[in-house]
Structure 1
Amino acid sequence: MSAFDLNELRAILRQMGDTDQADLDGDIEHMGFGDLGYDSLALLELCSQVERRYGVQISDDAVLDMPTPARAVTYINSLLTAKAGA
């Protein structure tokens, strides 16, 4: 499986709806999800979408490890790497 990247994250956020939140095509990597208009419930939905698409388990507390899109991509890739190594 290829690595999860910012474009994959953008696609999931767009499919979640509320595309008026922020310009997802801009330089969003280091912006906080709150600054992009996504609250904690939206992050839980993001985690749920990733779980379904990629077959990984993400705890509800993981949103604390993903304050920005860049950190979310890194965190999700660490889960995918661990899954591949299992």
Structure 2
Amino acid sequence: MDINLMNNTKTSNLYISPTLIWCLLMPLIHLLSLISNIFCIIIFCSKTFIHKPIAIYFICLLISDSTTLLIGYSEMVERELFIN
């Protein structure tokens, strides 16, 4: 079977436009992850966890992950401008 024919038949049913992915789906995933990180930071900063050394480690990891998510979100906004 020709590789182009096989690719066209399989992907035509599952095709999602790049605009939908970069402008809606990916920013939504980043936003939900960022909100989740903020909630986790609030929980780890509570009186129950803050006295444990592992809580400080997790807070640092969550802050680092949140920074990465914000950078990724800004890059997606730039890609959205180039797509449109």
TM over 0.5: no
For the pair shown, the structure with the greater C-alpha radius of gyration is 2
TM-score (normalizing by structure 1): 0.30
